[in-house]
Structure 1
Amino acid sequence: MDPKISYFKTFVTTSKTKSFSKAAKKLGITQGTVSNHISTLEKYFDTQLFIRTPEGVELTPEGQILYESAKKILELIESTRQRIKSLHEYPEGTIKIAASTTPGEHILPSIIMDYKREYKDVDFDIEITDSKRCFKLLENGSVDIIAVGYLYNKDYEHLIIGKDRLVLIVPPNHRLAKKGVATLSDIMKEDYIDREEGSGTREVIIKALNEKGYSMMDLNVVMRLGSNSSIITAVSEGNGVSIISEIPAKKAAEAGLVKIVPIVDLDLTRYLYLVKGKKLKNPSAVRSFWEFLEG
Structure 2
Amino acid sequence: MDPKVSYFKTFISAAKTKSFSRASKKLSVTQGTVSNHISALEKYFDAQLFLRTPEGVDLTPEGEILYEKAEKILNNINDARQYMRILHEHPEGTVRIAASTTPGENLIPNIIQSYRAEHKDVDFDVQITDSEKCFKLLESGQVDIIAVGNLYDKSYESVIIGKDRLVLIVPPNHRLVKKGVAKLSDLLKEEYIDREEGSGTREAFKLALNNKGYSTMDLDIIMSLGSNSSIITAVSEGYGVGVISEIPAKNAEEGGHVKIIPIEDLDLTRYLYLVKGRKPKNPSAVKSFWDFVSE
Q: TM-score, normalised by structure 2?
A: 0.97
The equivalent of 1:34 in structure 2 is 34
Q: State yes or no: 1:93 paired with 2:56.
A: no
Aligned identity (percent) is: 73
Instruction: Report the more deviating stretch, 43-52 or 230-239.
Output: 43-52
Q: Deviations over 1:97-129 (max 9, x none)?
A: 111000000000000011111111111111111
Task: Let me know the Cα RMSD of the aligned residues.
Answer: 1.1
Q: CA–CA distance in 2 between the matches of 1:79 and 1:138?
A: 32
After the TM superposition, which segments of 4 or more aligned residues of structure 1 sit over 6 Å from their partners? none
Q: CA–CA distance in 2 between the matches of 1:294 and 1:24?
A: 45
The equivalent of 1:17 in structure 2 is 17
Deviation at 1:2, TM superposition (A): 2.2
Q: CA–CA distance in 2 between the matches of 1:79 and 1:181?
A: 66
Q: Deviations over 1:29-76 (max 9, x none)?
A: 111100100111111122221122332222122211111111001001
Instruction: Report the more deviating stretch, 147-156 or 234-243.
Output: 234-243
Show the 5 A alignment for 1:73-88. Answer: 73-88=73-88
Q: CA–CA distance in 1 between the matches of 2:85 and 2:156?
A: 25
The equivalent of 2:169 in structure 1 is 169
Show the 5 A alignment for 1:68-147. Answer: 68-147=68-147
Question: The residue matched to 1:52 in structure 2 has which SS?
Answer: strand
Question: The residue matched to 2:107 in structure 1 has which SS?
Answer: helix
Deviation at 1:279, TM superposition (A): 3.2
Question: The residue matched to 1:6 in structure 2 has which SS?
Answer: helix
Q: State yes or no: 1:54 paired with 2:54.
A: yes
Question: The residue matched to 1:292 in structure 2 has which SS?
Answer: helix
The equivalent of 1:291 in structure 2 is 291
Question: The residue matched to 2:265 in structure 1 has which SS?
Answer: coil
Question: The residue matched to 1:74 in structure 2 has which SS?
Answer: helix
Amino acid corresponding to residue 63 of structure 2 in structure 1: G
Deviation at 1:178, TM superposition (A): 1.0
Deviation at 1:275, TM superposition (A): 0.8
The equivalent of 1:263 in structure 2 is 263
Q: CA–CA distance in 1 between the matches of 2:294 and 2:205?
A: 29
Amino acid corresponding to residue 108 of structure 1 in structure 2: I
Instruction: Report the more deviating stretch, 127-136 or 102-111.
Output: 127-136
Deviation at 1:177, TM superposition (A): 1.2
Q: CA–CA distance in 2 between the matches of 1:99 and 1:3?
A: 45
Show the 5 A alignment for 1:192-203. Answer: 192-203=192-203
The equivalent of 1:243 in structure 2 is 243
Amino acid corresponding to residue 182 of structure 1 in structure 2: A
Show the 5 A alignment for 1:269-284. Answer: 269-284=269-284
Q: CA–CA distance in 2 between the matches of 1:141 and 1:18?
A: 51
The equivalent of 1:65 in structure 2 is 65
Deviation at 1:199, TM superposition (A): 0.5
Amino acid corresponding to residue 246 of structure 2 in structure 1: E
Deviation at 1:264, TM superposition (A): 0.7
Question: The residue matched to 1:272 in structure 2 has which SS?
Answer: strand
Deviation at 1:5, TM superposition (A): 0.9
The equivalent of 1:230 in structure 2 is 230
Q: CA–CA distance in 1 between the matches of 2:23 and 2:247?
A: 66
Instruction: Report the more deviating stretch, 39-48 or 261-270.
Output: 39-48
Deviation at 1:278, TM superposition (A): 2.0
Instruction: Report the more deviating stretch, 15-24 or 200-209.
Output: 15-24
Q: Deviations over 1:249-269 (max 9, x none)?
A: 111111121111111100011
Gaps of 5+ in 2: none
Amino acid corresponding to residue 212 of structure 1 in structure 2: K
Aligned residues: 295
